Chain A
């Protein structure tokens, strides 16, 4: 702790910082299109489509063919490994399609959760081995940011001190390795919405988890200006009997962040965690109109909450591709407005947009 051995040169820092700022430029957020093969199976299963590599390619093509309207509202797209090397029908690599729209390409680099023995079903995330080499390769192949997801859950005796400490540590290690390779790490410490706990409990746990994450990042000499945070919003558990307004969720979320996330972090890109498309947009909007001061960009990194309508419109049919793309663009624009606190709600309580996208123990 006594001496500094700089981890990054001034040039490396600038590059990382510039990438991060481009991703969370005002009105922009992230499309999380990095569902693993297993997760895509669940999505495609819901619309009766077989989970083949071709179908996954066709589906991502639907999203990536969006027109220039998405330039204003999408700052980054997170890819799954397979998708990084897939192409559109006309042979254009997906990575290039995204970059041509001025959108930053990102890559999911973790290798899923593994159990922490001696805990109540808690996990850590694996993928550090060989991560540096993989990052170097991904950087060559067009990625400028990465994502690593850790998972914690709220129950009577979780998250435990071990789970918090271990996940914070592995996130910091991953972040450090990414930065060495010119890749902006998105740090994702997701606290699942499973359970019947109330809003306050989620806020308390989120504050503890985020404090541990930022201590670990400091310990690992991570350059905060070249990182992004992808947390859960502070919400009640999915089976909590008490209902809360978007304003309450916004207040709890922004308070938790103000107490734990240093202002040097350029942006916070929320996960949607099973909220419906509309809920995720309304809550993000409330967060951006919350009366508390917010020194970081507060935006989205949505998977399900950007794609649900597109998926149901597509149903695996080529003929539905344009209509499906249009659904995606619509949600992207709505969330772009929400990131600016300018979304007024659709007024439409029904339909795919209002459907909960909750999957237990995601």
Chain B
């Protein structure tokens, strides 16, 4: 603690900071298209499409071959490992297709969760390889292959006995360790400490837990000498549990969420990109919009990193048929644009919102 041994040169810092700023530039957010093979299986099953590598490729191609103007709403795309090395029908690698539009390419780096023995079903994160040294090599390779940011997801849950002190501390520490490794390789780490919406707890409980978790995350990032200006945060919004009998408005969610962030997230962090966590497409947009309209101060960008909440309508329009490509792209473009407006507090709901947009996308105990 007494002496500084700089982790990054000024040039490395500037590169990381520039990448982060580009991802969360005004009106832009992230398309989380990094569903693992298993998770894509869940998505495709819902539209009766077989979970083959080609089908996964085809759907991602629909998203990534959207008109270049999508770059007004999308600043970054997170890819799963398989997808980083796939190509479009003309043979163009997906990272190239995405970067051509001026969108930053990111990569999911974690390999899901591992149990913490002695806890009430709690977990920590595990990396792709057998050792952290391998994660090091993996990061370097991804950077070469076109990624400029990486994402690590930790999972916590609320019950009468969780999250435990150990779970909070262990997940915070692991997130910080991986953030440090990412930065060493020029990848902006997106730090994702997701607190699941499962449960019947109320809004206040979620706020309390989120404050404790985020405080631990930022202490760990500081301990690990992580350069905050070159990171992004991907938290849950503060919401009631999915089976909470009490209903809250987007304004309630907005105030609880922004208050939590003001108490825990240093202003040096350039952007906060919320996960949608099972909210419907419309809900996720309305909540984000309410936050950006809130009179509370917001020293960081408040934007989106949505998976389900950006893709549900597109999936429903596609149903695996290539002739539906344009309709699927239009559905995606629409949600992207709505979320872009929500980032600026300018989303005005008009007319009827369609069924797919309103469908809750909640999956119990969600793992990627």
Q: Which residues of A contact B (CB under 8 A)?
A: 1-4, 154-161, 164, 200-201, 204-205, 207-208, 211-212, 214-215, 218-219, 224-225, 255, 258-264, 293-295
User: Which of B32-40, B155-163, B273-281, B332-340 forms part of the interface with chain A?
Assistant: B155-163
Smallest CB gap from A4: residue in B: B208
Q: Do residues B263 and A1 form an inter-chain contact, with CB atoms below 8 A?
A: no
- Some 14 contacts from A to B, beta carbons below 8 A apart, are A1-B164, A2-B160, A4-B204, A155-B2, A157-B2, A160-B1, A205-B2, A208-B1, A258-B266, A259-B222, A259-B266, A262-B262, A262-B263, A263-B262
Number of A-B residue pairs at CB separation under 8 A: 94
- Our pick among A4, A159, A262 for the contact of B1 (Cβ within 8 Å) is A159
Starting from the known contacts A2-B161, A3-B205, A262-B262, 18 additional A-B residue pairs (CB-CB under 8 Å) come to A1-B212, A2-B159, A2-B209, A4-B208, A154-B2, A156-B3, A208-B222, A215-B215, A215-B219, A225-B263, A262-B266, A263-B262, A263-B297, A263-B299, A264-B262, A264-B263, A293-B267, A295-B299
Contacts of B212 in A (CB 8 A): 1, 218
B1-21 contacts to A, CB under 8 A, are 1-4
Q: Do residues A218 and B2 form an inter-chain contact, with CB atoms below 8 A?
A: no
Contacts of B211 in A (CB 8 A): 218
Contacts of A264 in B (CB 8 A): 259, 262-263
Q: Interface size on B (CB < 8 Å)?
A: 36
Contacts of B168 in A (CB 8 A): 1
List the 5 shortest-distance A-B pairs measured between CB atoms, nearest first.
A218-B215, A211-B222, A204-B4, A4-B208, A215-B219
- Our pick among A219, A262, A294 for the contact of B265 (Cβ within 8 Å) is A262
Q: Do residues A1 and B267 form an inter-chain contact, with CB atoms below 8 A?
A: no
In the assembled complex, the CB of B243 is this many whole angstroms from the nearest CB of chain A, namely: 18
| Most chain B Cβ neighbours within 10 Å, of A156, A208, A225 | A208
Q: Do residues A293 and B2 form an inter-chain contact, with CB atoms below 8 A?
A: no
Counting CB contacts under 8 A, is B228 at the interface? yes
Smallest CB gap from B267: residue in A: A258
In the assembled complex, the CB of A275 is this many whole angstroms from the nearest CB of chain B, namely: 23
- Our pick among B1, B165, B265 for the contact of A164 (Cβ within 8 Å) is B1
Contacts of B1 in A (CB 8 A): 159-161, 164, 205, 208
- Our pick among B160, B209, B267 for the contact of A263 (Cβ within 8 Å) is B267
Counting CB contacts under 8 A, is B324 at the interface? no
Counting CB contacts under 8 A, is B268 at the interface? yes
Counting CB contacts under 8 A, is B264 at the interface? yes
Counting CB contacts under 8 A, is B178 at the interface? no
| Most chain A Cβ neighbours within 10 Å, of B2, B208, B209, B268 | B2
B191-209 contact mask (Cβ, 8 Å, vs A): 1 or 0: 0000000000000110011
B158-195 contacts to A, CB under 8 A, are 158-165, 168
Contacts of A4 in B (CB 8 A): 204-205, 208
Counting CB contacts under 8 A, is B218 at the interface? yes
